[in-house]
Amino acid sequence: MSIQRLAENDPTLTQLSLWNKQIDASGVQVLAGALAQNDYLNTLKLECIQFGDSGAQALASALAQNHCLTLLGVGIAPPA
């Protein structure tokens, strides 16, 4: 799984798209923890993921510690 590779600080993982994936609150916490310590990821796309306020806070904290990410995609899909 890509989040596991992120947590393992895999140097070949430079882009990660989790577009429209079902990630619960604990999954967002795992993602944030991995992102905070990753040295290689430069693109992260989180479009169409509902991670809530606590997930947003966890991601914000992780981003403050990450110095490699240069592109972060977030957003929602328009209603059908």
Task: Name the CATH topology of 2-73.
Answer: 3.80.10
Whether 77 has a pLDDT exceeding 80, the answer reads no
Domain residue ranges in the chain:
2-73
Question: Contact at 8 Å (CB) between 8 and 35?
Answer: no
**What are the pLDDT digits (tens) for 47-67?**
888 888 888 899 999 999 999
**What are the pLDDT digits (tens) for 1-56?**
689 999 999 999 999 999 888 888 888 899 999 999 999 999 999 988 888 888 88
Which amino acid, one-letter code, is at 31?
A: L
Q: How remote is the C-alpha of 56 from its chain's centroid?
A: 10
Q: What is the pLDDT, as a whole number, of residue 57?
A: 94
Q: What is the pLDDT, as a whole number, of residue 78?
A: 57
